[in-house]
Structures are given as C-alpha cells and as structure tokens.
Amino acid sequence: MYFQGEKKVIVRRPVKSKNVLQNQIHPLLARILLARGVTSEVDLDRSLLKLPSPWLLSGMDEMVNHLIIAVKEQQRISIVADFDADGATSCALAIKGLNLLGAGPVSFVVPNRFEYGYGLTPEIVELVKQQEPQVIITVDNGISSIEGVNAANAAGIKVLVTDHHLPGEHLPKAHAIVNPNLVGDKFPNKSLAGVGVMFYVLMALRSKLRELNWFELKKIPEPNLAQLLDYVALGTVADVVSLEQTNRALVHQGLIRIRQGQCHAGIKALIEVAGKNLQNLVAVDLGFSIGPRLNAAGRMDDMSLGIQCLLTDDPIKAREIALKLDGFNNDRKEVEATMKHEAMLLITDMKMVDKAHLPAGVCIYDAKWHQGVIGILASRIKEQVHRPVIAFAPAGADIIKGSARSIVGVHIRDVLSDIAASYPKLLSKFGGHAMAAGLTISMHDYPTFALAFDEMVTKRLEGVDLEQKILSDGELTEAETTLEMADLMQNGATWGQDFPEPVFDGVFDVIQVRIVGQRHLKFVLRRPGEHTIIDGIAFFADKPEHWLGLRQIRAAYKLDINEYKGNRTVQFIVHYFEKMA
C-alpha cells in the first residue's frame, strides 16, 4: 500500500510494440503481461505438468535415500521449523506429507524467537533430543546452522536440511542438503520458498517409493500431494519470494483448491476469521490478510500455535485457534502503530541533522521496541524513505537483533556479507535473501554498524534510482471499467512479488470524499467530461481530515470489486493520489 501523503512520481510502464501473445488473451491483459516480461503463452502455463523436475535440485538423491531408510524403518523424525509463515506452512506440509507417505512418528519443534532465536542451534538440539528422534529435518532454515548440525551429529541424530536462504562460505555437515541457492544447483527457479523446497522433496520421495512398490506392499493409497498445495500457496506468498513461473503455478494450483473448499481446516478458519470470501480468494489476500494472522503467532507469542492451527482436522478447534491468532494480529497492529510513530520521529531527527539527505542505508533502534514486530516496521519505513532499512530491538544483555528490508537493486544479504568481510567482529550472525535479512550485533557496536551499513549500501547504490516511483499500466477507459474487466485483472494471472498486480492511473473529478473507519477515505469519482460515477477507497490515509474538500486528483489505483450483501460493483482501490485542484 502506498502512503497517500508522500510525494511520488507516477511512471507508466513501457508498452511493448509487438504482441507475441495469442488473440484469445484480452489486449489489455496481454499488454500488462508483456510489460512484466511474459514473452509467450508458455510463460502463462500454471499447470503442475510443466513444473521443473525435483531431481534438478542438487542433493535430492542423498535426501531421498536417507528419507527412504527413515520411512522403511519407521524412524522417529523431528521437524525443526522457522517461526514465520513460511516455516509454519513448511512444517505442516512436512508432517502431513510424511504421514501420507507412510512414515513413522513425526513431531516438530519451532524455536520461540524470544527464547532461542532463529534456526537449528545447539540449544534447539537439546530441546529436540527430548523427543528422541533418529532424524531431524529442517524446514525453511538450517543452511547456516553449522554448530547446531555438529551438535546433532555428536548426539547421533541424522540431520537433513531443506532451506532456501542463501548459503554462507561454509555449509553445515548435514547428511543431505536441498536448497536451490547452493552453488552449482541446476534448478531453474532460485526463488522457491522454504515450503516449496519441502514440497519438491516430498514429490521426489513419493516417486522413489512408487518405484519400490512401497504403497502396494504397505497396502496404503499413493497420495495425491496436490492436496497439500494450500500450504504451499500460503507460505510462498507470505514469504514475499519472487513469483517466477514455478511459484506462480504452485500458488495458482493452491488457490484453486482453496476456492473449491479443498483446503485444510486451519487455512479455511483463518480465511473466515479474516472476513474473506473463500470462493473469490486471490494471492494478494494470502499476503495481506491470511499470512499476517499466521505470522502473528510467531511475532507476539509462539508459532507452535500457528502450526497447530494448520495441522488440525477439527474445524471447531481450527476456528478457536484462528480467533486467537486474529487477536494476536490485532495486538501486533497496535504495537506496530506505536513503533512506526516513534520510528518516523527518528527519521525526522535524521533529516534535521542532515537536511540534504538521509543515510543511504537507514538504521533505527529503540530500547522499547518489540522484537517480533521489527520486520514489519522496517518494511513500513522502507516504503516511506525508499532505501534499505534495518530496525533493531533489544534481545538480551548488550545484544540487539535487527530485521532488514531492501529496495530493488540492493541485495541486502550481500550488503551484510560486505560488512562481515570488512568488519569481521561486528556481526554475531546474519542471513537472509535479496530483499530481507536478519542479524544480531552487540548494543555497543550499534553506532559503528550504522555507519558501516550506510557505507556499504552507498557502494551498491550506483545506478539505483532512489526517487519514489509508482509504476502504472496506463489509463483505463470508461469501457474498460467493468466488473468483467475487474474479474480479469484479478484472475488473469497470479500476481505477487516481482509480478505485480495491475495498477492504473488517471485524473478524476472528486464528487465526494469522506472519512470512513477513522482512517480510510471514501471517494466518489468521475472522469472529466464523462458521466459515469466510480467509487474509490484509500485505506489508512495519512491525516485523512487533510484531504476533505478535494475537487480533483490524479490517482494510481487497482481495479477491484466491492461485494456487499450479494451485490458486486466496481471500485478503485486508491494506492496513491495527489491534489490537482
């Protein structure tokens, strides 16, 4: 969501002169897809048949061989998960999938971020040992767990790592590692989420068990793993990974099953509690409504509760847990609002010190901030200042943890690697992706780190435009502002990170503007010289009372459908507007 009070520049995406897509695709949708790099109808294939082979992932042979032994011998398996939505869905997927494939007892451990921190650490191994597992499978973590894997090996527990985070210079001594970002890996989609990696492991394991006639010998049905794709869709979108073609297919197929009601009780309950329509759910709903409620368990309490919600088959229990998660999410919103206000005061202070510009890389810290909310805070402030941001919170005696969010063109984990190379003792630990990362430093090193972060970001900003821009797909005509077109915009493709929803722009006369729900602006709009009236809404407007009395605006908006008491009408979701008159 763009912030209405911040000045931005609306820039229209270049229009491709040659339409290489076939005539059955609506010309407007074709233009939008071409602007997102779609070059043929093959790129639009969202079927499971065209998914890349799981055997392209390096380490898959070793992974499956160890899992075959574990399944055949009914070994006790413990899943060690991350405490975010990707980790939770990965964990539920692994447990359900292994059970369907006939594995022995499968349990799980998810670190409480406030007690243990991230990943398979030696402390977590001690916790896992209470379950007496013979095998540990990490999901959405493990690639940097060198000490934890060593501890498990010393305890005689086999460790199998499934992860998607970027590897460091050294790999853990696990029995097998599957990660599309390993050096030399031939899997074509490097942007699989952790849940996507685990789904591929299960597909490979099923194919090998099929070859061994396992299902016939055990007299169990060979499972259709597509029944787990609701987990994959939710985890993939919630982790904000790039929706390359493979991820688009996985998310699309998961959404189909959700819309048909063929989803797990926990996901259905989360959708209902969020007030969303199961039949019309889109990928954006997973990212902005369902994912945050699941994530709230790990941010505000313990992600074990979120995993229990995903695992239960009891609709009553699922709803009970979903309501608790909804409550955690409301608590998170309140904490986030306070933290954001305090962060913006810090940003204002920075501008007062240097009126010309903010640092290239912005670090913010407050001793009162909530460790579970700093990731969201960093994302919100990044949207405001359009540069990489790290928000820090206390995490123990002289220890602070940071959550980093970046902008296109600045690979944030590489920035942290640069700092680690130039200042070897500054970072206690770090890891992450191009757009998001986490780290731990000493409190007394914070001033030094802030300067180092600014220095390293500055070096990587060459050629990166810091001007805040909104990319628009152009104007919509009156004839294109219809329910049919809104349906097409929502469902014509699977939109998400690096494959953004269509955004349009135009100048509108404001017939009426009023405040609803305290912070939202409700518009009645009309194109100059036309008669058709269009409803619009801008959520969470900055200082909404400031905009009353507007007469004309230029707006960037999404074409949407408002459903109320069975009626469906076209409306604009206004992401950004500026006063014209």
CA nearest neighbour of 31 among 482, 480, 568: 480
H runs (alpha helix) in 280-390:
283-285, 291-300, 303-311, 315-353, 374-385
Q: At what angle do helices 291-300 and 229-238 cross, to 10 degrees?
A: 70
Asked if residues 89 and 231 have their Cβ atoms less than 8 Å apart, the reply is yes
Q: Are the C-beta atoms of residues 378 and 339 closer than 8 Å to each other? A: no
User: Domain boundaries in the chain?
Assistant: 9-35+473-579, 50-262, 357-460
- Beta bridge pairs of residue 521: 515, 538
pLDDT confidence of residue 355 = 46
SS3 content of the chain, % helix, strand, coil (to 5): 45, 20, 40
Per-residue tokens: 522: 């409700």
Collect all residues with Cβ–Cβ distance below 8 Å to 359 and sequence separation of at least 6.
350, 387, 450, 453, 454, 457
Architecture of domain 50-262: Alpha-Beta Complex (3.90)
CA dist., res. 296 & res. 299, Å (int): 5
CATH architecture for residues 9-35+473-579 = Beta Barrel (2.40)
- Residue 581 has a pLDDT of 64
Q: What is the pTM of this model?
A: 0.92
Is the separation of the CB atoms in 311 and 271 below 8 Å? no
Taking a C-beta distance cutoff of 8 angstroms, is the pair 28, 485 a contact? Answer: yes
Beta bridge partners of 9: 469
How far is C-alpha 276 from the chain's CA centre? 19
Q: Which residues contact 511 (CB under 8 A, 6 or more apart)?
A: 524, 525, 526, 533
Architecture of domain 357-460 in this structure: Roll (3.10)
Predicted pLDDT of residue 152: 98
Q: What is the pLDDT of residue 5?
A: 45
Are both 50-262 and 357-460 of the same fold?
no
Give the pLDDT confidence score for residue 393 in this predicted structure.
Answer: 96
Low pLDDT (below 70) residues in the chain: 1-6, 16-20, 22-23, 352-357, 581
Kindly tell me the burial class for residue 452, based on how many C-beta atoms sit within 10 Å of its own C-beta (0-12, 13-18, 19 or more): buried
